[in-house]
């Protein structure tokens, strides 16, 4: 990659090339591109500077771009002219078989994104969303090329964070909360905004009656006192969202009609079922902020600002934002909540544009939010609706972030969009966070496929079944008897031969790979848009970081096993979207190895090894092992 022309763009629309300097610094093989420009006029708040980046010999690419205010998804192409605007991560394969990675960053003041600018050129666009800027200075992008794309991604993220110096951590440096090692449930798709104490307790009783070991639950939207909603109802989801997004938070208390005994009493009753409780809320308190006639406004008005659209939300200033979150979280904690899910995070442009540069805004309110969550909930938080890069590059310690649009029950077309979003978003977001692949239903038409996705995801697993509809048999392959999930070691990501190829149109298998201990996990799907058969191969080489000289490749659903050398492969075809496979790839020692429990998807997680390498089951049940390169199954 080579840097080309750079320019400042003025608010008047004029461009200046002579007043800007671009420099590169190489650290651990990663090229960091810095920009330094100063003008006598104000810069365009939406596009203050640009740098052309050229790559020769591009064969194909995947762009992870922000397609909405909150979410990203992948796009694919063969020349850079099609790279979408708002691209937050770019992976390309060259004609010589090597790869390249480009990560635009968010510096102290400026946000950078990529967009197509010609057959072999992308444009790095920098902007502040603040009209008083006359200078553009700081790190713009990091990039690297080589033969190992996953290593390039990890190095680019690590070097970028070090150079930014914000204190933000890579995923490896973040602590995964023990709470999320267990099965959870969320009220949203079950009850939506009609959530109430009676229904919640009925659902807890269902879990107990069916022996489903749910250990935590999220009380989602509309648990709080939102008086704008009183006496109103909806006929469909469109009307429901319209009502939600026109409502304001009156107080931090639970809605007195649907929670007549108060939030604390409700949580205590849920705790009685052995279930810990977390509370949902948006960054803004509620979707349209605080009700000016309510208790939140009266108590915290010194911490609030009135936006251009006339709503009251917390100030982006760190001290005031912290005071707001601390007041909210103190109430929730005193009621017995043990974690939070915070929505509506990528809202900086909509609410804080023109108040200060985007980097400054994001860093201040995330530091405030995380300080309060750390103080009250030991950093146990799910970040949500927050895939804008100003959010991803500015959370210091919170470990988990959603990586897809909302789950849509009873929607087959949604599954393909969902798996693509999660898998390819994890390539970028997964360098910084453990990724939450969202809730799901156990009796949905895509339930088994959804369960496989959560099994390989490496993140939390939680469902949102409504009353009477939870299926214990769909959850048993994911967890031990006490509800502990059999979790992979890192976010699941596409296999190397899927990185820059659109699986909807390629005619090839789509492969998700992960590790569990020293074993590989490979989930294989047919995502063809026309439901045509697809074919390809699976190999130990498909799993990044898997080492060994010989492997047992065990397919979960058929119970078949083949012994392969590292470079060997198995040819397979999948007839349609209802055809899928799940492989466990276990390194063998002298022709022997443990597959683990055959009734669990991530079977290596059911085996515990001692210091001598001897393995035994964590929990009794049917299991398989390989001895003298032959498969043995015990029931």
Residues 6+ positions from 564 with CB-CB distance below 8 Å: 539, 540, 550, 551, 553, 570
Q: Which of 99, 133, 107, 115 is nearest to 51 (CA)?
A: 115
Average pLDDT, the chain: 97
Residues 6+ positions from 563 with CB-CB distance below 8 Å: 550, 551, 552, 553, 588, 591, 626, 629
Residue 558 has what pLDDT? 98
CB-CB contact of 435 with 422 (8 Å):
yes
CB-CB contact of 400 with 38 (8 Å):
no
Q: Residue 83: pLDDT above 90?
A: yes
Pair type for strands 381-383 and 339-343: parallel
d(CA 256, CA 273): 23
From 427-431, 538-542, 607-611, the region with the lowest mean pLDDT: 607-611
DSSP E strand stretches across 42-120: 49-54, 58-66, 72-77, 87-94, 99-104, 111-116
Mean pLDDT over 81-90 rounds to: 98
Residues 6+ positions from 173 with CB-CB distance below 8 Å: none
pTM: 0.97
d(CA 523, CA 508): 14
Residue 575 has what pLDDT? 97
Residue 401 has what pLDDT? 98
Pair type for strands 519-525 and 580-587: antiparallel
CB-CB contact of 398 with 436 (8 Å):
no
Q: Residue 284: pLDDT above 80?
A: yes
Q: What is the 3-state secondary structure (H, E, C) of 141-169?
A: EEEEEECCHHHHHHHHHHHHHHHHCCCCC
Q: What is the pLDDT of residues 454-465, one digit of tens each?
A: 999 999 999 999
Instruction: Please give the structure tokens belonging to residue 396.
Output: 């210091």
Instruction: Please give the structure tokens belonging to residue 33.
Output: 């591109």
d(CA 413, CA 480): 31
Confidence at 288, pLDDT banded by 50, 70, 90 = very high
Mean pLDDT over 569-576 rounds to: 97
DSSP three-state, residue 541:
helix
Mean pLDDT over 553-560 rounds to: 98
Q: What is the pLDDT of residues 298-325, one digit of tens each?
A: 999 999 999 999 999 999 999 999 999 9
Residue 233 has what pLDDT? 80
Q: Residue 345: pLDDT above 80?
A: yes
Confidence at 231, pLDDT banded by 50, 70, 90 = confident
């Amino acid at each position: 990659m080579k840097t080309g022309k750079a320019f400042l763009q003025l608010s008047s629309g004029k461009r200046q090339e002579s007043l800007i300097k671009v420099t590169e610094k190489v650290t651990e093989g990663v090229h960091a591109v810095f920009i330094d420009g100063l003008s006598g006029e104000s810069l365009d708040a939406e596009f203050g500077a640009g740098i052309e980046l050229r790559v020769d010999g591009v064969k194909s690419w995947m762009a992870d771009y922000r397609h909405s205010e909150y979410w990203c998804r992948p796009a694919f192409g063969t020349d850079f002219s099609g790279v979408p605007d708002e691209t937050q991560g770019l992976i390309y394969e060259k004609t010589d078989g090597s790869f390249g990675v480009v990560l635009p960053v968010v510096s102290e003041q400026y946000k950078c994104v990529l967009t197509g600018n010609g057959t072999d050129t992308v444009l790095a666009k920098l902007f502040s969303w603040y009209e008083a800027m006359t200078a553009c200075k700081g790190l713009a992008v990091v990039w690297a090329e080589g033969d190992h794309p996953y290593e390039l991604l990890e190095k680019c993220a690590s070097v970028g964070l070090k150079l930014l110096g914000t204190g933000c951590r890579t995923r490896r440096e973040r602590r995964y909360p023990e709470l999320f090692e267990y099965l959870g449930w969320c009220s949203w798709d079950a009850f939506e905004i009609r959530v109430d104490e009676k229904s919640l307790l009925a659902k807890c009783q269902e879990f107990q009656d069916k022996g489903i070991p749910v250990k935590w639950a999220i009380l989602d939207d509309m648990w709080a006192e939102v008086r704008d909603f009183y006496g109103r109802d909806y006929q469909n989801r469109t009307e429901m969202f319209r009502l939600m997004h026109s409502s304001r938070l009156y107080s931090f208390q639970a809605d007195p009609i649907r929670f007549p005994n108060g939030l604390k009493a409700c949580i205590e009753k849920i705790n009685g079922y052995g279930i810990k409780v977390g509370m949902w809320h948006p960054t803004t308190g509620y979707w349209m902020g605080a009700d000016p006639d309510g208790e939140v406004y009266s108590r915290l008005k010194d911490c609030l600002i009135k936006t251009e659209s006339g709503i009251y939300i917390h100030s982006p200033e760190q001290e005031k934002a912290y005071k707001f979150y601390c007041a909210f979280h103190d109430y929730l904690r005193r009621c017995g909540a043990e974690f939070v899910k915070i929505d509506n995070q990528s809202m900086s442009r909509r609410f804080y544009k023109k108040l200060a540069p985007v980097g400054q805004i994001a860093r201040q309110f995330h530091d405030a939010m995380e300080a309060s969550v750390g103080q009250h909930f030991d950093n146990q938080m799910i970040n949500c609706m927050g895939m804008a890069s100003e959010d991803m590059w500015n959370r210091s310690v919170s470990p988990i972030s959603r990586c897809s649009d909302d789950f849509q029950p009873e929607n087959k077309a949604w599954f393909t969009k969902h798996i693509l979003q999660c898998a390819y978003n994890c390539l970028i977001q997964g360098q910084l966070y453990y990724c939450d692949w969202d809730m799901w239903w156990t009796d949905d038409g895509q339930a088994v496929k959804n369960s496989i996705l959560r099994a390989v995801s490496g993140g939390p697993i939680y469902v949102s079944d409504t009353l009477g509809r939870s299926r214990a048999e769909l959850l048993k392959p994911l967890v031990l008897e006490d509800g502990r999930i059999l979790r992979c070691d890192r976010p699941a990501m596409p296999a190397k031969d899927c990185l820059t190829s659109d699986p909807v149109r390629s005619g090839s298998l789509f492969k998700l790979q992960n590790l569990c201990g020293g074993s590989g996990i490979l989930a294989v799907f047919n995502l063809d848009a026309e439901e045509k058969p697809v074919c390809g191969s699976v190999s130990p080489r498909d799993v990044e970081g898997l080492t060994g000289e010989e492997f047992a490749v065990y397919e979960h659903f058929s119970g078949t096993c083949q012994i392969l050398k590292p470079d060997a492969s198995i040819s397979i075809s999948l007839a349609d979207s209802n055809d899928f496979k799940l492989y466990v790839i276990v390194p063998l020692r002298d022709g022997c190895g443990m597959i683990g429990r055959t009734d669990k998807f991530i079977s290596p997680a059911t085996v515990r090894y001692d210091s001598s390498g001897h393995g035994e089951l964590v929990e009794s049940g049917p299991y398989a092992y390989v001895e003298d390169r032959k498969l043995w199954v015990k029931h």
